Structure 1
Amino acid sequence: MYKDRYIFPAIFHYADDGISVEFPDLAGCFSYGSNDIEAVSNAKEALELHLYGLEDDNEIIPNPSNIQHIKHSENETIVLIDVWMISVRDYMKNKAVKKTLTIPKWLNDVAIENKVNFSHLLQLAIKDYLGIHKD
């Protein structure tokens, strides 16, 4: 079972051209920012998406390291990044996805004349087809 809240340490590496961010406990989870505020915001988004991907793939999410045990250099600092996965899961579940489909030109013309909302109609048709009766 996955948690609803995670707090992971991130290493902020300060350079002349900005701040690169890595999560030592999560291979492949990186971010960047031109200043502290942008780096924290981008790190939070990167962590949310990375954890969501792990959950979606039914992967194990490791326990975060104790910040006292993380080695870092002079131009680096440790920042704890806090994410609430409930809102992330809800957003990802309800986000719109683009679908490409093909219909005859004559049907498209008539539908446009009648101001058909193609997305709404397709959603209704799919729900009806699958027997889903919820908005």
Structure 2
Amino acid sequence: MSVKNREYIYPVIITPESSEPHTFTVEIPDIDGMTEGNSVSDALDMAVDYVGAYSLDNELPPSNTNLPKQHGNQIISLIQVHPDEYRRKHDNKVIKKTLSIPNYLNELGKEQNINFSEVLTESLKERLKI
């Protein structure tokens, strides 16, 4: 599988909510999206996650580094999104994989009702440090 390394940059508008302390609304105009966070940093992380999730089902528009006009206490910033990396981390689609193991391990595993897929998944995550 080839690894793409696409990168998209979008402006976001962060607005502190006066009615809810420690709440920051984030508008992502290029994809007509909104989310929120508990701090400016969290709001930026949530915006990146929102765009990443959006990219799973939708084509992203081209990058846009034009900053919108700031009003009042808004914070204008840019976010950087890597949709291919997001997909790799969040694609939980299960695939069937055929593998070979020694017969004695198969027999012992069946006797103890071991879920081979679960063991393989856990082992791969540990080996790959994810």
TM score, norm. by length of structure 2: 0.61
Q: Sort the Cα spacing of 1:64 and 1:4 in 2 relative to 1 into closer, same or farther, 3 A.
A: closer
Alignment of 1:29-108 (within 5 A): 29-54=33-58, 59=59, 61-68=60-67, 70-93=68-91, 95=92
- What amino acid is aligned across from residue 28 of structure 2 in structure 1? F
Gaps of 5+ in 2: 95-108, 121-130
Match of 1:26 among 28, 31, 40: 31
Runs of 4+ more than 3 Å apart: none
Match of 1:130? Answer: none
- RMSD (Å), alpha carbons: 2.9
Gaps of 5+ in 1: 98-111, 124-135
1: CA distance, partners of 2:114 / 2:93: 15
Question: How far did residue 119 of structure 1 move?
Answer: 5.7
TM score, norm. by length of structure 1: 0.60
Match of 1:8 among 2, 10, 16: 10
Identity of aligned residues (%): 21
State how many pairs are aligned: 100
Q: Sort the Cα spacing of 1:80 and 1:53 in 2 relative to 1 into closer, same or farther, 3 A.
A: same
2: CA distance, partners of 1:87 / 1:115: 37
1: CA distance, partners of 2:51 / 2:57: 10
